[in-house]
Amino acid sequence: MSEGPAAGERRYRTVKGVPTPILIIAVSAFLNRVGGFFAIFLALILASRGFDPGQITMALAVVAGAGMVGAGVSGWSADRMGPRWTLVLCTLATGVLSLALMGLTGFTASVILAALLSMAVQGFSPVAQAVISVTAPPERRLTMFAGFRTTFNLGAALGGLIGGLWAESHMDTLLLGNAVAAFASTLVLLALPSGLRERPAPAEKDTAGKDPAGRPEKRSLTGDPGYMAFCVLIGLTAMVYAMHLGPLPLAVTDAGFGAGTYGAMLTANAVIVLCCEVPVSVVIRRLPPQAVAAAGAACVIGGMAILALGIAWPVVIASVVLWTAGEILVTPTAAEIAARAAPRGAVARYQSFLVFWQTTGMSVGPALGVFLYGVHGDLPWWLAGGAGAGVAAGLYVVVRARLSRPDPAASAADTGDGTRVA
């Protein structure tokens, strides 16, 4: 059986050492985010249609729930119909639904179309991560996850700027840009090799359904409680991280700082992530993933817990540095752990389950944080600190136990038709 790195580099042409499927995914993601006006400006779009705050709140809750569903089911689709066509379906649906949402402006139609659009948008990332999982050389995979996130975040930054300028004068046509970017992304995805779909290798399994190492293949996530526990802990970390979008701006302004201070915190976070995530990944990929994941969670949670000391410039700076460092450490590492843990033919499913919990945490965190802040101004930070040690220690123990087995992707073989067995 071929070793993973050789197989990954032999099967796909590379540009500067990056397999072409990953470059295609990165370009597609960049286009999606540059034109991703829907996610950024949905509340303003709904307000421009005359809906009241109660209606907008309900619509945003429905859209958030639909996004979690999209992230959760896209992996199952990719493991059945292949990642190429799943990604094409996501981006094509994004374009079509964007045009429909632009044309249909009633409240019910807006909510239904926005929910479907959210499903399509959120379904992209887990399948893209699955493509990286099976095409990147295992020893460089974590860095390629980090590079993918960098293009994703760069596109989001440009998209916010372009969308803001567009929305000032043409809010009614903003979704047209969303549709054009999605259709362009679809055309790019058609260049993906058709042989990306994973499948089990029957010739290498015995009649008991075991792989060559004697391990039974796990076709259901319920048969992998260690991985499920890992995803839940990552979801809790994401929930704490997302508090920078809910109670943090309230705490900053209540402490007498202006909205510009909060904006500067977000800008600092974006700049640090864009500049540092890939270089840092080159270092941390040599470290045990359980240690990196635990350290990242501790930084995220510590960055929020430190705010209990009071909102002052030294605390604000330390908070931003900590939760940004945590983001850089834990996010690409989590995708790498999912790639290592996934059994044959289930990489997309495993990435999808991970992204489902990340999306759930990011959706719940701001609202929960605001509720806790309303009870007591320091309650979000106290609870974050109280949970921090447990989450970080849990990640270390769970990941170490789960990855004590051989990496399925690292021992992957290639079939004669170019389809990877992983």
Residues 6+ positions from 28 with CB-CB distance below 8 Å: 87, 91, 128, 185, 188, 189
Q: Which helix (H) or strand (E) holds 200?
A: none
Q: What is the mean pLDDT of each run of 10 residues along the chain (422 residues)?
A: 38 71 92 79 84 87 91 88 91 94 91 93 92 89 92 83 75 84 94 67 42 47 88 95 88 85 85 92 94 95 93 91 95 94 88 94 88 90 87 94 62 38 36
The rounded distance, in Å, linking the Cα atoms of 251 and 257 is 9
pLDDT at 422: 37
Contact 185, 96 (CB under 8 A): no
The rounded distance, in Å, linking the Cα atoms of 93 and 66 is 14
The model carries a pTM of 0.83
Q: Distances in Å between the alpha carbon of 403 and those of 89, 112, 140, 282, 397? A: 33, 41, 17, 20, 10
Residues 6+ positions from 192 with CB-CB distance below 8 Å: 21, 24, 25, 83, 84, 87, 131
Contact 348, 198 (CB under 8 A): yes
C-alpha atoms less than 13 angstroms from C-alpha of 181 in its C-beta half-sphere: 25
Cα torsion 35, 41, 46, 47: sign: negative
Q: Which residue type does 29 have? A: A
371 alpha-carbon distance from chain centroid: 25
C-alpha atoms less than 13 angstroms from C-alpha of 244 in its C-beta half-sphere: 29
pLDDT at 253: 85
pLDDT at 405: 60
